[in-house]
Amino acid sequence: MIYPIVKFGDPVLDKPAAEVTSFDDDLKKLIEDMFESMYAARGVGLAAPQIGLSKRIAVVDVTFKENPDDKLVLINPVIVNKEGRQRGSEGCLSIPEFREDVTRAKIVTVRAQDLTGKFFEHTGEDLLARAFLHETDHLNGKLYISHVSALKRDLIKRKIKKMVKAGEW
């Protein structure tokens, strides 16, 4: 099932998501649907609040179906280490049509649970590091525009307001 993507302005994107405690078949199905929804939206990462579900789940595939090993499921993820710095363009399925440069750590280690509830750690560099940070932010009710200057953020918000008024958001 493909879920519609929730856009900026929906309060579900602004609140911390709830811990996942039950690792059952419903969760498996939800993860499948999240990948399907992410691919349909042409994204490389998706957090559950973006489909309106306030749960600490994110899916990531930074090579977009190219390499099965790049398909990652992060349940209750926590960033445990950050190193270096990278600056690069970042976007979000919930803020379509906008992109901004964001400074992030270059190497990031995330600790999370898999579909069975087992804990694991994964270290990513560059785009994967960025995805870990971006998706974990989502689960904490934070969007990437919180990392850009207030000036740029206000400009984006003003443009979105206009689009909302015009029925284009």
Question: In this structure, are residues 127 and 108 in contact, taking their beta carbons and an 8 Å threshold?
Answer: no
Q: Which is nearer to Ni ion, 92 or 129 (CB)?
A: 92
| Cβ 135 to Ni ion shortest distance, Å | 7
Q: Which is nearer to Ni ion, 51 or 92 (CB)?
A: 92
| Cβ 42 to Ni ion shortest distance, Å | 13
Measured CA to CA, the distance from residue 126 to residue 38 in angstroms comes to 20
Closest chain position to Ni ion (CB): 92
Q: Which residue ranges make up the site for Ni ion (CB under 5 A)?
A: 92
Q: Which is nearer to Ni ion, 34 or 92 (CB)?
A: 92
Nearest CA among 73, 2, 61 for reference residue 37: 2
**Strand pairing partners for 118?**
none
| Cβ 100 to Ni ion shortest distance, Å | 12
Supply the residues annotated as catalytic. 135
Which amino acid makes up residue 73?
V
Q: Identify the burial level of 150 via C-beta atoms within 10 angstroms of its C-beta, where 0-12 means exposed, 13-18 middle and 19 or more buried.
A: exposed
